[in-house]
Amino acid sequence: MFKEILASMIHETEGCIGAILVGSDGIPVEQYVRESETVHPDQVAVEMAGVLKEMKKAVGILEIGELEEVSLATEKQGILMRTVDADHFLALVFAADGNLGKGRYVMRRDRIKILEELDS
C-alpha cells in the first residue's frame, strides 16, 4: 500500500521525481521514483535521516515545538521532508523547478494514510 500512496504523491505533484518513506534509522521502508529519473533513494534516505536528527536536536534546544518539516533547495534539486511519527519520515525529491507547495500539501494529506498503514 505504501508504494501506491507514494506513486500518487509523485504523479499529483509537478516536478516531483521521487518519494521515500524512511525509518528514523535511515533505512527506506518504501520508495517510488519516476522511471526516467536518476534519484538514489537509499542515499537520500541515509543522508536526510542524519539531517533530520540534527534538526530535531536544534529544535529541542530552542524549545520551539516538535519538528514537522524541513526543505532543502539546491540549483539542481530540492528535497522536502516531513515527519510521519517518531520513527518515520517522508522525503519528496523535486526537480529544481518542482512545485514544493503542492508537495507540502500532498505530504500533509497523505501522512494520515501512511499512519493508518503503519498501525495496521
Q: Determine the pLDDT at residue 37.
A: 65
How many C-beta neighbours within 10 Å does residue 37 have? 13
Q: Could you give the CA distance from residue 94 to residue 100 in angstroms, rounded to a whole number?
A: 8
Question: pLDDT tens-digit profile of 8-65?
Answer: 999 999 999 999 999 988 999 999 998 766 778 788 888 888 988 999 999 999 999 9
How many C-beta neighbours within 10 Å does residue 106 have? 23
Task: Kindly list the domain boundaries of the chain, sorted by start residue.
Answer: 10-119
CATH topology of domain 10-119: Beta-Lactamase (3.30.450)
How many C-beta neighbours within 10 Å does residue 101 have? 9
